[in-house]
Structure 1
Amino acid sequence: MKSFKSARKTNSTAVDDDERALFRDAVKGARTIDNDKIQPLPAKQRLQQKKHRQKADSVGLNSRAATDFFSDQFQGYIEDGPVRYVAEQESHYLLKQLRRGDYSPEMLLDLHGMTLAAAKQELAAMLRACEKQLIECCSIMHGHGSGRLKQQLPHWLIQYPGIRAFHQAPKEWGGDAAIVLLIKRRD
């Protein structure tokens, strides 16, 4: 009787014509890869990309900005009816003022046609820009569409620590397809 090592060795090296035909049939139509190596960027382009990343980080537009504040799994309590929220330390009178249109938005963000991931990035960038430019009131147009963005947007906003209050926008600022929000000013 042959030992296990020698039997294994002969089985692994011996390929009969049926196995070769089966293999060739399986890979029929496959083509070879021309180049699977990524060429390094020239030094000048690497330097430009580094400067661009540093500038985006200083403005707060890096790719981690949205994930630092917004979780898709978090579901805050939103009452039935118009979308509204007021932070714990704020007056509920802010909701009435937002509903009546006492505050006019200084910045508008239109999220029509964006995916949830892209909308999250844009929202984070807008909120940071509002804080840097000392903008207190802004409006976010989410549109009607499938309703996924309209449903998720309030849950993202509740998570952001700089939100004082938000309410469904008055008709002149988009009605039920938009949200008007107040942001804390950092003086």
Structure 2
Amino acid sequence: MKCMRIQRSWVKKLTFVYNAGYRSPQAVQAMTFNTQKSGTMKKKEQLSDDDKALFRQLMTGTRKLKQDTMVHKPMRKKAEVSLKRQLSEQADNSHYFSDEFQPLLAEDGPVRYVRSDVSHYELKKLRRGDYTPEIFLDLHGLTQQQAKQELGALIAACRREHIFCASVMHGHGKHILKQQTPLWLAQHPDVMAFHQAPKMFGGDAALLVLIEVEEWQPPELP
């Protein structure tokens, strides 16, 4: 819509009052503001017939908006349900991690594990960096209990979002989390394989983990 300038010595402010049953304005009221330097208020003036006609012309073809009667669920309640589900999934997945059970892992070479029904070729692809992790978990500064909970949440998130490759950063050295993380992961039934990460993804301070998701198939490599 083009803007039209009215040549007058005062500025008018239009207040539009619409009636829900009509397309055109029901009433138009004009208020005038004094622009004199003295600051005294001028007497209110009504719109002229020409201005009213111009306004009606500009408003021709306007239509009332339909009221949105859709009832939207409160977002806070939806967030609470989502959080409850996440906590439930976290608990379900972290209960697999036992400190008493010690799975047998290879003692020589880099840390690695492959589930009995998974091809050993997946280990080779993890080692070479053929798989790029889509999600990362940093365990630095966590207690063992916190680390278990975060690992459980990671696996739940991977399965929920159909993410098959994740990176778990446990840090360097010989601290407890670096020793325990592979033992915990090897106990989870949805962990297909893991291998010490290639240098580009953290080297011996991290693991690349292959998670089983629904209808998972090894991606075709270029």
> What letter corresponds to residue 71 of structure 1 in structure 2?
S
1:64 counterpart (84, 87, 91): 91
What's the secondary structure of 1:131's corresponding residue? helix
Residues 133, 104 of structure 1: CA spacing in aligned structure 2 closer, same or farther, 3 A cutoff? same
For 2:143 and 2:130, locate their aligned partners in 1 and report how far apart those are by CA, in whole Å: 31
Partner of 1:98: 126
For 1:169 and 1:77, locate their aligned partners in 2 and report how far apart those are by CA, in whole Å: 20
More helix by share: 1
What's the secondary structure of 1:69's corresponding residue? coil
Residues 101, 88 of structure 1: CA spacing in aligned structure 2 closer, same or farther, 3 A cutoff? same
Listed as ranges, the gaps of 5+ residues in structure 2 are 1-75, 216-222
Task: Establish whether residue 143 from structure 1 lines up as the match of residue 171 from structure 2.
Answer: yes
Residues 106, 143 of structure 1: CA spacing in aligned structure 2 closer, same or farther, 3 A cutoff? same
The 4+ residue runs of structure 1 with deviation greater than 6 A are: none
More strand by share: 2
For 1:148 and 1:119, locate their aligned partners in 2 and report how far apart those are by CA, in whole Å: 11
Listed as ranges, the gaps of 5+ residues in structure 1 are 1-47
Q: Which has the larger radius of gyration?
A: 2
1:78 counterpart (93, 105, 111): 105
Tell me the CA shift for residue 66 of structure 1.
Answer: 5.1
For 1:57 and 1:65, locate their aligned partners in 2 and report how far apart those are by CA, in whole Å: 12
Cα root mean square deviation, aligned = 2.1
For 1:158 and 1:104, locate their aligned partners in 2 and report how far apart those are by CA, in whole Å: 20
Q: How many residues align?
A: 138
Partner of 1:130: 158
For 2:128 and 2:175, locate their aligned partners in 1 and report how far apart those are by CA, in whole Å: 24
TM-score, structure 2 normalization: 0.57
Task: Establish whether residue 184 from structure 1 lines up as the match of residue 203 from structure 2.
Answer: no
